[in-house]
Copies of this chain bind each other. A is one copy, B any other.
Amino acid sequence: MSYRAPVSDIASALKHGAGLQRAIADGLYGDLGEDDIDAVIAEAGRFAENVIAPLNAIGDRYGTPFTDGAVTMPPGWKEAYRAWAAAGWNGIAAPAAWGGQDLPHAVKVACNEIWNSGSMAFIIGPVLTMAAIEALSAHGTEALKETYLPKLVSGEWTGTMQLTEPQAGSDVGALRTKAVPQDDGSYRLTGQKIFITYGEHDLTDNIIHFVLARLPDAAAGTKGISLFLVPKFLVNADGSLGARNDVRAHSIEHKMGIHASPTCTMVYGDKGGAIGFLVGKENAGMVCMFTMMNSARLSVGIGGVGIAERATQAASAYARERKQGRTAGMAADQSVTIIGHVDVRRMLLTMRALTRAARAICYATAIALDRAERGADETARKAGHGRAALLTPVAKAFSTDVGTEVASLGIQVHGGMGYIEETGAAQYYRDARIAQIYEGTNGIQAADLVTRKVPLNGGQTVRRYIDELGTTVGRLRAANDPGFGATASRLGNAVESLGRATQWILKQGGRNADAVLAGATSYLRLFAYAAGGCMLAEEALAAARGANGAASAGDRIGIARFFAENMAVQAGGLEVCVTQSAESVTAATLPDPTV
């Protein structure tokens, strides 16, 4: 199944669903116009279609054999990675001063979606390098930047992010890796990290590890964590590679999916301590991490969209080709392509509607991040930051839930063939599942949304957002287009449900924390249905006005309507779960089923 970058869907979501046109009008992107953005995305699409997508099944089949501390990447992956670096994609969002293109989050997120569609296992490495670049740019000394940034930006070297330890997963503050200061200003690290993505590989000559560790006298918890740069090979003063550092991959995990992304256990200090360099201040490691938390979570969220899109394309192609069964009036020896069956239509529409809603939410989050960084004044940047903070957990959790749900529907459309590995549908399903877990599980995202994000600025951030959704409903009512069916009514109800559920959370004012947490996952889904529904409606309204060519209007209106009438319609039930069902969660007994 070949992949085609959905450039017109992406343009519609960016410009009309997520508000790119407004952001451009607000001067957020300087000289960068719609055409430039379209051109970058089209080019990213061609690279994904021709270079990345063909790697995906190969990577799944070969995995990354591990022998004597070395990882062998699958056939063709090294060549593809070199083409990636040579084309300059690695530095797409990196500072121009260090060789990057400094493109905004709005462009990066769209490219990131496309690359994830190509192969999540491939792109996850470069995306972590981008995160490392972000951290080092923001917090590194000039000397560190000069030594490492140009080669990370060019892709000559890759970067890793190392937080997790056996006892410290979601609870980063429990980590124990030690860093002891040396007289020369460097540190010696000892300890073990697990689940380290691309911790070892043979794509590049050097790997730069960004490692959270604890100074000898550090406080317990997250307040005692510092960030260190630990190169696999030390770098000489002239930039050439020096001695091997005291860090090694000890083993790799046997995972359900993303087989070509080596997940390593890393050991520091077998020979007395790995040499590391402090990034940011001592005990300020979490601050450095928070710098890139929103964009890292968005990167994971958009991975869900990327896999959902590819699964949708594969299912759609199969449904147009596979003949089976009959519709009313056909003779016994005739058969239709299965897209002619109503329930297959329903599945394909569900896949498309969920994918597009998640895409628009991710893109809106990216534009909010851009507003936080590029807004004209402090007020605009603060508003952007609040919006980004609010939307990030929804973008991460909803989109990755959608990745799995859509991939599962993709298997179902394929029938028995979907369960056989050769069609690829099963791989999307296995690959997609990880994204609900890492970079903060989706349960943690939901808790973050209800306990930190909804109360932001006394609730003003979320209230203002819900008011905006209300204006979309108003525009739908004013348009009064019969093709939209019950869209206005259903979305109106969903936005009202979201408003009431939000008010209920705000009213608790930090009391009844467990009751609020009990409804967190339902609240996040309710938020996504209201927000995603309104964004699809904005796309449809724009298409009805003739934007992006009138040909797409039927499609966009149909999907907006389908989402409103089949997904957003669940808002009332979700509202009840948030506002009235907490005791059923908190008061239930939970006896051990195995005794």
Which residues of A approach B to under 8 Å, CB–CB?
2, 4, 6, 9, 164, 167, 169-171, 173-174, 195, 219-223, 253-257, 309, 312-313, 316-317, 320, 323-326, 328, 331-333, 335, 339, 341-349, 352, 404, 408, 411-412, 415-416, 418-422, 426, 429-430, 433-434, 436-438, 441-444, 446-447, 485-486, 513-514, 517-518, 520-522, 554-555, 558-559, 561-562, 564-566, 569-573, 576-577, 580-581, 583-595
Contact = CB atoms under 8 A, between A and B. Distances in A.
A54 to B, nearest CB: 16
B589 A421 contact: no
B352 A593 contact: yes
A434 B573 CA distance: 30
A33 to B, nearest CB: 27
Contacts of A342: 514, 517-518, 520, 585-586
A348 B590 contact: yes
Contacts of A517: 341-343
Contact of A257 (B419, B521, B573): B419
Given A486-B580, A565-B577, 9 more contacts: A254-B421, A345-B518, A345-B586, A349-B585, A352-B590, A415-B441, A555-B589, A564-B584, A565-B581
Nearest to A571: B573
B420 A408 contact: no
Contact of A565 (B313, B346, B555, B584): B584
A17 B347 CA distance: 32
A257 B587 CA distance: 37
A313 B520 contact: no
A437 B423 CA distance: 15
Consensus secondary structure, chain A interface: helix
Contacts of A419: 255-257, 433-434, 437
Contacts of A443: 341, 343-344, 347, 412
B416 A331 contact: no
Given A333-B220, A343-B517, A558-B588, A565 B594 contact: no
A426 B434 CA distance: 11
CB-CB nearest 5 A-B residue pairs: A221-B332, A558-B588, A343-B443, A342-B517, A256-B426
Contacts of A352: 590, 593
Nearest to A349: B588
A434 B419 CA distance: 7
B164 A416 contact: yes
A93 B565 CA distance: 46
A513 B324 CA distance: 19
A14 to B, nearest CB: 17
B256 A421 contact: yes
A503 to B, nearest CB: 19
A588 B561 contact: yes
B257 A591 contact: no
Given A342-B517, A420-B254, A594 B313 contact: yes
Contact of A167 (B169, B323, B412, B564): B323
A479 to B, nearest CB: 17
Nearest to A316: B593
A559 to B, nearest CB: 7
Given A561-B588, A583-B485, A593 B312 contact: yes
A489 B88 CA distance: 61
A429 B412 CA distance: 15
